[in-house]
Amino acid sequence: MYEQDISYEKKQAYNGPGKEALGLDLAFILGFNILMLACIYLPILNETMIRPIAGTIMVLFIPGYSLAAALYPGKADIDTVERIALSFGLNLGIMPIAVLLANFTPWGIHLGPIVAILTILTILFILVAVMRRRRIPADERFSIDIGGAYQDLKRSLIFTDRKPQYLTFLVTSVIIIAICFTLAYFLLTPGRTDNFTEFYILGPGGRMKDYPTDFYLGSGQPIIVCIANHEHKTVDYSLVISVNGSANVIYSEQIPLGDNQTWEKTIMLRPRTTGSNMKMAFSLYDDGPSSTPYRECDLYVNVLPAASVSPPMWQQLLGESGEA
């Protein structure tokens, strides 16, 4: 009976409850991932300052810490200062993997898919960390100890014979953190080069060919006009279509579009003047009509007088033979 009690206590010491194996640190990491996803996909948080702050912490630290927890489940493996610095360093290896995986998703390299991939990786690391912590005695598992962390920092930087090694370690950590902050800045701050508007025209078949080039006065032909806003803001576009100069406007429309919204419309175009090889200009303005279009597409068209009904070919041939 006594041996059974010892065996039971030993088993409990190594395979403690899941809550104890998870620990406050990993529970915080898990909750932080949920907060980050909410900041991206919930409009109430998406436009607040919480998003860039949480995003920076996510990109710099969170996945690396969960991987460090999986690699070093025991409190004696590494001290707190080394664990924190290692978390920043591991993130340098995790981030390129997340960006590469995001590139193969339908959404491309954007903050949303990158954070989703980081969240999946973080959860996997947490599961491994919990399983490894359960295999060691409960009193040897790593847990948050603010006082102990302060003593580790104090002992590492001041009262130790290994001061030169720790100073080198500290300088390396600062460099790693600076690199991570730079990476986070470029990921979380949209660059000006990313702001653009798609503007193009399609033929009646919905493809970039078979554009109508011969018009008859008074008759219309269809052309598909497409606009896609990627300016990271709402834009009030103005579409103006003219023939043979800006004074001869044959179509105009105001088109407000939100970020990442697309507008597509089939327009029947009816030129009002005749001529050959005339420029049909599709001008798009982003802040009301002005002297310089923001985007422009051109077609060169012929506009003939109103078409009359031609007799069948056999009548034309008979007429020519009769005249002969």
DSSP string, 43-92: HHHHTSTHHHHHHHHHHHTHHHHHHHHHH--BTTTS-HHHHHHHHHHHHH
256 or 311, greater pLDDT: 256
Q: Do 114 and 145 sit in the same domain of this protein?
A: yes
Give the strands of the sheet with 235-243, arranged side by side: 214-216, 295-304, 275-285, 235-243, 249-257
264, 224 contact by CB (below 8 A):
yes
Binning pLDDT at 50, 70 and 90, where does residue 228 land?
very high
3 located within any domain: no
Q: Do 50 and 114 sit in the same domain of this protein?
A: yes
Q: pLDDT tens-digit profile of 236-272?
A: 999 999 998 877 899 999 999 998 899 999 999 999 8
The number of folded domains in the chain is 2
Percent of the chain with pLDDT over 90: 25
Nearest CA to 97 out of 126, 73, 71, 67 is that of 67
84 or 180, greater pLDDT: 84
Q: Do 32 and 97 sit in the same domain of this protein?
A: yes
Q: Do 92 and 217 sit in the same domain of this protein?
A: no
Binning pLDDT at 50, 70 and 90, where does residue 324 land?
very low
As a whole number of angstroms, the distance between CA 281 and CA 234 comes to 25
As a whole number of angstroms, the distance between CA 233 and CA 195 comes to 9
Q: Do 139 and 160 sit in the same domain of this protein?
A: yes
As a whole number of angstroms, the distance between CA 78 and CA 81 comes to 8
The structure's pTM equals 0.48
Q: Do 167 and 250 sit in the same domain of this protein?
A: no
For residue 225, the surrounding DSSP H or E stretch is strand 221-230
| Partners of 137 in the β-ladder | none
Q: pLDDT tens-digit profile of 149-169?
A: 555 555 555 555 555 555 556
Binning pLDDT at 50, 70 and 90, where does residue 195 land?
confident
Stretch 283-291: mean pLDDT: 79
122 located within any domain: yes
Q: pLDDT tens-digit profile of 110-123?
A: 778 888 899 999 99
Q: Do 78 and 22 sit in the same domain of this protein?
A: yes
Q: Do 206 and 127 sit in the same domain of this protein?
A: no
